[in-house]
């Protein structure tokens, strides 16, 4: 497979989730292998408070370092980054983050579409995207862009989602590479 | 399914803006810029990039629209209430010791933060001896800011922010409502000076005790951020304060050695 020729600095995992996805994200984090080198970026819709307790909560589940992404921070292997509340998180082609506080997209800031699209433009076929449970369609357009730039797109099996709308929207819109249960998600990531 | 305006095309547009209109966006962070430009291209329904570029090059009014649309003008009053609480409790008591207070709101957009600051100053009984310099590269947003008129629909949120920041008054005492808009008291705007200023290309124009520049630098590349920090350093009196947005930091800049962060909020004090 073409992907195997990429090394881990050319790969990235982007995970988007909304209503009903927090416990899935925590489950994934708890089951990641400790020597995973591909950076993970998590975009989770949440309330607009800027406290960092969510990244601390996530950090308790894994030995990988978890932090909120900072503006102009370099994306490093082996790290888990969380999009900060009330900003869009963008990925620059030089593999740095940048933040943007422009209008909400799909009623959301951070918007999953924005991170997915810029990840596709920066990492191309090195992107693996996972769209989880949620009640709106943020992320669906981003998945399509990732696919068009030869990335891999995965969604949580809507049957296992607390709110199946978001993954179902993606399935209805395009062919999905993998549709996985909650238990299969970390196994899939650990094998990337 | 790549975006209609790609990286090379963006370079052409940015060169046009610089050569023909004097606006330098070349060191703006690219991912956000690309999104904004593509958003505008779609919004204005251009059939092709060539037509987009032709319009930009040949229509000065459209160039104004371009500036207005690719810069981000999302702002609110008392955004991040804890930050304002910090200003109230830790910065204003220091400013109060000066005979005359000069504050610079760099990249003030439509003015919501300037009015928030004026309210803080008024409540600390400092407004009469303060001058708030509000600048932005975009004359349209400054014009809006100078009217002191804001949509009624935002007042509920702003009032909640105000209270969360430690405000004790009834927020509505600061404005007069008319239909779906409100106008803030002229006592507040009487201490404001609005002027265009481009952080990218212009130099220091005064000395201040407090510079507020929140969620502006995130749109700049690192190297440009460094140049703007040097400009702020030139414009800040010794022992003055620099306040940034909640995800911005002075940490990566060489001027950091002259500054000390005050508490957990993004407020630094110049100590050398």
A88-101 pLDDT, tens digit per residue, is 999 999 999 999 99
Q: Is residue A22 part of a domain?
A: yes
* Residues in chain B within 8 Å Cβ distance of A114: 35
Q: Tell which of B7, B28, B29, B31 to mutate to test the A interface (max A CBs under 10 Å).
A: B31
Q: Is residue A76 part of a domain?
A: yes
Query: In this structure, are B65 and B180 located in the same domain?
Result: no
Q: Tell which of B75, B83, B218, B252 to mutate to test the A interface (max A CBs under 10 Å).
A: B218
pLDDT for A5 equals 63
Query: In this structure, are B227 and B107 located in the same domain?
Result: yes
Query: In this structure, are B19 and B112 located in the same domain?
Result: no
Q: Is residue B207 part of a domain?
A: yes
How far lies A75's CA from each of A90, A130, B32, B104, in Å?
11, 18, 17, 34
Query: In this structure, are B66 and B192 located in the same domain?
Result: no
Domain that holds residue B195: 81-270
A18 assigned to active site: yes
Q: Which of A49-58, B15-24, B118-127, B213-222 shows the lowest per-residue confidence on average (mean pLDDT)?
A: A49-58
**Arithmetic mean of pLDDT over chain B:** 95
Question: CB neighbours of B49 closer than 8 A, spacing ≥ 6?
Answer: B4, B5, B9, B41
pLDDT at A2 over 50: no
Q: Residue B193 belongs to a domain with what CATH number?
A: 3.40.50.150
pLDDT at B6 over 70: yes
Which residues are B151's β-sheet partners?
A: B181
pLDDT for A171 equals 98
| Number of domains making up chain A | 1
Q: Tell which of A71, A116, A124, A173 to mutate to test the B interface (max B CBs under 10 Å).
A: A71
Average pLDDT over residues A14-19: 96
Residue closest to B233 by CA, chosen among B269, B262, B267: B269
Contact yes or no for A102 and B74 at CB 8 A: yes
Query: What ipTM was assigned to the predicted interfaces of this complex?
Result: 0.90
Q: Assess B227–A contact: CB distance below 8 Å, yes or no.
A: no
The last residue of one of the domains, among B48, B70, B92, is B70
pLDDT at A3 over 70: no
pLDDT at A55 over 50: yes
A45 assigned to active site: yes
pLDDT at B261 over 60: yes
Element (H, E) at A91: strand A88-91
Contact yes or no for B1 and A148 at CB 8 A: yes
Q: Which of B222, B247, B252 sits opposite A99 (nearest CB)?
A: B247
Residue B97: Cβ within 10 Å count: 9
Q: How far apart are the first and last CA of chain A?
A: 12
Q: Which residues of A38-49 are buried (b: 16+ CB within 10 A; e: fewer)?
A: bbbbbbbbbeee
Confidence of residue B264 (pLDDT cuts 50, 70, 90): confident
3-state helix, strand, coil in chain A (%, to 5): 35, 20, 45
CA distance B113 to B119: 10
B residues 20-79 near A, CB within 8 Å? 29-32, 34-36, 72, 74
Bigger pLDDT: B254 or A90? A90
pLDDT for A1 equals 46
Q: Long-range contacts of range B224-227, CB-CB < 8 Å, 24 or more positions apart?
A: B224/B27, B224/B28, B224/B200, B225/A72, B225/B252, B225/B253, B226/B252, B226/B253, B226/B254, B227/B200
Q: Residue A153 belongs to a domain with what CATH number?
A: 3.40.50.180
Confidence of residue A47 (pLDDT cuts 50, 70, 90): confident
For the stretch B48-97, pLDDT in tens is: 999 999 999 999 999 999 999 999 999 999 999 999 999 999 999 999 99
CA distance B186 to B174: 9
A31 assigned to active site: no
List A21, A45, A88, A137, catalytic entry: A45
Query: In this structure, are B58 and B141 located in the same domain?
Result: no
Query: Look-up: residue for tokens 């930050």?
Result: B83
Report residue B243 as tokens: 């306040």
CB B223 within 8 A of CB B240: no
Contact yes or no for A100 and B245 at CB 8 A: no
pLDDT at A4 over 60: no
pLDDT for A46 equals 84
Query: In this structure, are B191 and B96 located in the same domain?
Result: yes
CB B104 within 8 A of CB B135: yes
Query: In this structure, are B122 and B191 located in the same domain?
Result: yes
Confidence of residue A104 (pLDDT cuts 50, 70, 90): very high
The C-alpha R_g of chain B, in whole angstroms, comes to: 20
Contact yes or no for A70 and B72 at CB 8 A: no
Average pLDDT over residues B236-261: 93
For the stretch B94-127, pLDDT in tens is: 999 999 999 999 999 999 999 999 999 999 999 9
For the stretch A147-171, pLDDT in tens is: 999 999 999 999 999 999 999 999 9
Confidence of residue A6 (pLDDT cuts 50, 70, 90): confident
pLDDT for B251 equals 86
pLDDT at B258 over 50: yes
Domain that holds residue A141: 9-190
* Residues in chain A within 8 Å Cβ distance of B1: 144-145, 148-149
Contact yes or no for A98 and B32 at CB 8 A: yes
For the stretch A20-33, pLDDT in tens is: 999 999 999 999 99
Beta strands A40-44 and B208-213 are unpaired
Q: Is residue A74 part of a domain?
A: yes
Q: Is residue A160 part of a domain?
A: yes
CA distance B75 to B107: 11
Residue ranges of chain A whose CB lies within 8 Å of a chain B CB: 50, 70-72, 84, 87-88, 90-93, 96, 98-103, 114, 117-118, 121-122, 144-145, 148-149
CB A160 within 8 A of CB A181: yes
Query: In this structure, are B266 and B156 located in the same domain?
Result: yes
CA distance B32 to chain A (A): 7
| Number of domains making up chain B | 2
Give percent of chain B with pLDDT exceeding 70.
99
Locate the chain A residue with the closest alpha carbon to B72.
A102
List A108, A111, A113, A138, catalytic entry: A138
Query: In this structure, are B228 and B101 located in the same domain?
Result: yes
How far lies B86's CA from each of A2, A164, B82, B131, B267, in Å?
53, 42, 6, 20, 9
Contact yes or no for B247 and A121 at CB 8 A: no
pLDDT for A9 equals 72
For the stretch A69-90, pLDDT in tens is: 999 999 999 999 999 999 999 9
- Residue A65 DSSP SS3: coil
Half-sphere exposure (CA, 13 Å, Cβ side) for A127? 31
CA distance B248 to B218: 7
DSSP readout, B11-61? Answer: HHHHHHIIIII----TTB-HHHHHHHHHHHHHHTT-SSHHHHHHHHHH-HH
Query: In this structure, are B157 and B32 located in the same domain?
Result: no
What is the number of helices (H) and of strands (E) in chain B?
11, 10
Q: Which of B34, B80, B218 sits opposite A99 (nearest CB)?
A: B218
CA distance A66 to A55: 6
CA distance A99 to B246: 11
Residue B210: Cβ within 10 Å count: 25
């Amino acid at each position: 497979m073409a992907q195997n020729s990429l090394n881990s600095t050319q790969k990235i995992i982007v995970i988007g989730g909304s209503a009903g996805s927090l416990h899935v994200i925590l489950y994934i984090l708890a089951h990641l292998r400790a020597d995973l080198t591909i950076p993970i970026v998590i975009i989770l819709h949440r309330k607009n408070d800027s406290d960092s307790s969510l990244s601390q909560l996530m950090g308790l589940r894994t030995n990988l370092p978890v932090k909120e992404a900072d503006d102009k921070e370099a994306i490093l292997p082996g790290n888990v980054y969380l999009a900060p509340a009330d900003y869009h998180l963008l990925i620059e082609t030089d593999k740095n983050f940048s933040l943007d506080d422009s209008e909400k997209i799909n009623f959301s800031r951070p918007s999953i579409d924005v991170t997915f699209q810029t990840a596709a433009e920066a990492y191309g076929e090195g992107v693996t995207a996972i769209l989880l449970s949620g009640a709106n369609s943020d992320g669906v357009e981003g998945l399509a862009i990732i696919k068009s730039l030869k990335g891999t797109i995965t969604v949580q099996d809507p049957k296992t989602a607390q709110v199946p709308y978001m993954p179902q929207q993606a399935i209805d819109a395009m062919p999905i590479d993998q549709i996985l249960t909650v238990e299969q998600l970390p196994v899939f990531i650990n094998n990337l | 399914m790549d975006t209609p305006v790609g990286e090379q095309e963006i370079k052409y547009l940015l060169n046009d803006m610089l050569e023909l209109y004097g606006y330098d966006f070349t060191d703006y962070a690219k991912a956000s810029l690309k999104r904004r430009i593509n958003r505008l291209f779609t919004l204005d329904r251009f059939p092709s990039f060539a037509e987009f570029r032709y319009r930009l090059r040949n229509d000065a009014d459209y160039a104004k629209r371009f500036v207005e649309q690719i810069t981000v003008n999302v702002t609110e009053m008392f955004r991040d209430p804890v930050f304002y609480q910090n200003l109230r409790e830790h910065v204003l008591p220091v400013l109060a010791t000066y005979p005359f207070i000069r504050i610079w709101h760099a990249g003030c957009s439509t003015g919501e933060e300037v009015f928030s600051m004026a309210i803080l100053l008024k409540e600390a009984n400092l407004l009469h001896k303060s001058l708030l310099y509000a600048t932005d590269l975009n004359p349209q947003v400054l014009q809006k800011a100078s009217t002191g008129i804001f949509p009624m629909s935002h007042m509920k949120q702003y009032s909640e922010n105000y209270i969360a920041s430690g405000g004790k008054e009834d927020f509505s005492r600061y404005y007069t409502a008319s239909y779906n808009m409100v106008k803030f008291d002229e006592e507040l705007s009487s201490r404001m000076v609005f002027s265009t200023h481009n952080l990218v290309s212009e130099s220091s124009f005064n000395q201040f005790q407090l510079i507020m520049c929140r969620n502006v630098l995130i749109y700049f590349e690192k190297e440009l951020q460094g140049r703007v920090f040097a400009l702020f350093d030139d414009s800040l009196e010794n022992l003055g304060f620099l306040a940034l947005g909640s995800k911005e930091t002075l940490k990566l800049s060489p001027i950091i050695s002259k500054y000390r962060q005050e508490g957990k909020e993004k407020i630094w004090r110049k100590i050398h």
